Amino acid sequence: MPELPEVEVCRRGLEPELLGAQIEQVIIRSPKLRHVIPVELRDLLPGCRIVGIRRRGKYLLIDCRSDSVQGSLLVHLGMSGSLRFVAHGQPVVKHDHFELVLARHVLRFADPRRFGLILWQSGPPEESEQHPLLAIQGIEPLSDDFTVNWLYQANLKRSGPIKPLLMDSHRVVGIGNIYASESLFRAGISPLRAANKISKARYGLLVPAIRQTLSDAIAAGGSTIRNYMHSDGSSGWFQIQVGVYDRAGEPCLRCGGVVKQVRQAGRSTFYCPGCQH
Ligand code: ZN
């Protein structure tokens, strides 16, 4: 499933091709995604130029503008969505639901499981984050808002285990399962530890660990995204070098102990009881 780093890398891959491009046609092949793709996009977008491409949480915002139209396409890749540039006239395959036809090529959205979405928010770019789906998003972990003090204060009264709290996107966006497990491993903090029983000094290790883990993933993807977005290959999501994730029963790379797997809030958690307390 695409997580924050994948969406950010996708944004960076799209930006040079989309910025300044004019939309010639919108094709909606099957509108039923998580929400129905608004049919009026067919009339609204042709003639618009793409003036920005942004990311908020796991949403991409494609800012479009013409003399009479101003707004942003909200795109979410869901569980299995992807955006790809294809040549004009390239045959459509199953699960290709939506396309923006540009002068040079076509941006095609495919999503086998249909948990993704494509919506429209009219108005200037700065207002698009007021869309109900974006207004409930927590702070960005790579922004200056995500500080040691913020995380410490936010968890002072939270007696639940730290890992599910990190993954709550209403508080901080984009710390998916793999990144929560890996960040806690890097910081030496047990995923089972009560959030309000972690000292400020240890949050001082966790915040940079989260930032670094996400940045590593973005860097890992940055080198491959161009090929990915212009190829016909399926999948292609990249992974960071993992310390504990999906390594249950294997030796910890740091201490040689055995990596353990538990369930937390319905998700698998991986950690090393020897290194993480
Ligand atoms: Zn260990």
Helix (H, G, I), strand (E, B) or coil at 63: strand
Sign of the alpha-carbon torsion through 26, 123, 138, 37: negative
**Mean pLDDT estimate for the chain:** 91
- pLDDT, tens digit, for every residue of 92-107? 989 999 999 999 999 9
pLDDT score at 224: 55
Confidence of residue 222 (pLDDT cuts 50, 70, 90): low
Point out the catalytic residue in the list 2, 5, 161, 191. Answer: 2
CB 216 within 8 A of CB 245: no
Active-site residue flag, 24:
no
Active-site residue flag, 55:
no
Residue with tokens 């990311």: 55
Active-site residue flag, 129:
no
- pLDDT, tens digit, for every residue of 17-73? 999 999 999 999 988 989 899 999 999 999 999 999 999 999 999 999 999 999 999
Confidence of residue 236 (pLDDT cuts 50, 70, 90): very low
Active-site residue flag, 91:
no
Residue ranges and CATH numbers for the domains of the chain are 4-135 (3.20.190.10), 148-271 (1.10.8.50)
Confidence of residue 233 (pLDDT cuts 50, 70, 90): very low
CA of 48 to the centre of ligand 1 (A): 54
